[in-house]
Structure 1
């Protein structure tokens, strides 16, 4: 039976989150370097800090920032294409897999040593490792101790990704680097697919295509990386193999969808439509999280997370460079 009273409490906050997300989706094409998810987050933060709507419409905003977030992650699994990954060559695959594993351990270890809000650092490091905002959203329900940390991590990852999107084409203009090596540096270190495409295609079409494919390899590792990261960051370590696999339902659904679209021939248009729906839902969730992100908290905690983000990103670059020098020295 439908609980009408519960729906009536959720609906206003949900509609508000949807409205902000729609604005973000409509405005995003006209603002270079910003996607709908980031715009929705920023708008939500501004509205949340200037009004009392966060407390007034708390039920719906909480629902949008949790349940809608989890559902969006399941739908985003439809965008994990692995068709072209085999053409990259074993060297490139080894470099990226090694970087991802190394970065997971670096993120967990470094978050304990640096004076950084724990879940903010963990989210930032995981987003840096895999694919920016989508990766942060994937682990946020189980890792984030404070919803403020999600907004801070998203802002930090977006800023660093935007900076280095311009950095790599500049490096390429002054240093002679082979196409495969350049594709690895852009596709293997930049945060979002947009960052990778922007940097790679500004260098050349060949570098752009290869860099985006390398980025897809990182994205394809999201499911196993989430599984491992949840175990690594859990405060209660699993005592048995059964406890190891005790994950939230949305994560199992995400893994199931990833496997399904990898081995079942689903029409590309259908997958694209579902993935787009996932991105829209993610924008709704980020608007809700923005409502609950305090500027005061962002100022005090954000500086530490920003420093942590730069440190882990530089370590990521070093790991990819080491792989290039060891496995692809003649490019």
Structure 2
């Protein structure tokens, strides 16, 4: 849930799942929370901006939107509702957050491996008997590589659009498969704690994002 709120929503949740070895139904709950709260923000931000209560310039509002909304789709939707200038800035800022997914997963993997090692030491287990396996997120490194390749503009736009459509289809199938692993009765086992965490993260993103945008960019 924290990864989804901080980086790029459902995609970050799904990318984090194999690193922390989360159970599918917990991943589903995390996806649901970031999608719901991100969708709420997508409607709240344009209303606040158009009311004039925020007092932000177009550039600052774009940075605020891209820096605090959950999903790329949320950023695109909210930005489009406020104007092209805001949308362009918001998308650039959001993509900077998305690019941090790869280093985040690598650091997370190293951190978890270190925690496992310390646990073995505390239990008096010989380190040579337990290899500290580090989960390397190869797909995240592939993401960085594709970003670099795509920046060279070597592929025709039609090919890129086709790849993006296929990518959307694959992500949809992944989300559908995740839903097949989830039942409503599993939500009973986790209680309201995920909602509390998602709410805190939502308020923090709105508050801290606005503070930084207002005092650093305005």
Task: Report the TM-score, using the length of structure 2 for normalisation.
Answer: 0.80
| Distance change >3 Å, CA 244–CA 203, structure 1 → 2 | farther
- Which secondary structure does the structure 2 equivalent of 1:177 belong to? coil
Q: What RMSD, in angstroms, separates the aligned Cα atoms of the two structures?
A: 2.6
| Distance change >3 Å, CA 263–CA 295, structure 1 → 2 | same
Q: Could you tell me which residue of structure 1 aligns to residue 57 of structure 2?
A: 178
| Distance change >3 Å, CA 211–CA 302, structure 1 → 2 | farther
Deviation for aligned residue 1:246? 5.0
Residues 2-41 of structure 1: per-residue CA shift (max 9 Å, x gap): xxxxxxxxxxxxxxxxxxxxxxxxxxxxxxxxxxxxxxxx
Aligned positions, number: 203
Q: Could you tell me which residue of structure 1 aligns to residue 3 of structure 2?
A: 126
Deviation for aligned residue 1:224? 1.7
Aligned equivalent of 1:210, options 89, 96, 101: 89
Task: Report the TM-score, using the length of structure 1 for normalisation.
Answer: 0.55
- Which secondary structure does the structure 2 equivalent of 1:188 belong to? helix
Deviation for aligned residue 1:189? 0.8
Aligned equivalent of 1:139, options 6, 16, 23: 16
CA distance in 2, matches of 1:294, 1:253: 33
CA distance in 1, matches of 2:22, 2:167: 24
Q: Could you tell me which residue of structure 2 aligns to residue 273 of structure 1?
A: 162
Q: Could you tell me which residue of structure 2 aligns to residue 313 of structure 1?
A: 202
Deviation for aligned residue 1:218? 1.4
Deviation for aligned residue 1:163? 0.8
| Distance change >3 Å, CA 233–CA 168, structure 1 → 2 | farther
Q: Is the 8 A contact 1:223 1:258 kept in 2?
A: no
CA distance in 1, matches of 2:9, 2:199: 14
Structure with higher RCO (Cα < 8 A, 6+ apart)? 1
Q: Could you tell me which residue of structure 2 aligns to residue 295 of structure 1?
A: 184
More displaced stretch, 196-205 vs 125-134: 196-205
More displaced stretch, 130-139 vs 228-237: 228-237
| Distance change >3 Å, CA 230–CA 276, structure 1 → 2 | farther
Aligned equivalent of 1:227, options 78, 83, 106: 106
Task: Note the 1:66-215 alignment, pairs <5 A.
Answer: 124-172=1-49, 173-175=51-53, 176-215=55-94
Runs of 4+ in 1 over 6 A off after TM superposition: none
- Which secondary structure does the structure 1 equivalent of 2:68 belong to? coil
Q: Could you tell me which residue of structure 1 aligns to residue 124 of structure 2?
A: none
| Distance change >3 Å, CA 264–CA 199, structure 1 → 2 | closer
Deviation for aligned residue 1:321? 3.0
Which 5+ residue runs of structure 1 have no aligned equivalent? 1-123
Which 5+ residue runs of structure 2 have no aligned equivalent? 119-126
Q: Is the 8 A contact 2:58 2:85 kept in 1?
A: yes
Q: Could you tell me which residue of structure 1 aligns to residue 145 of structure 2?
A: 256
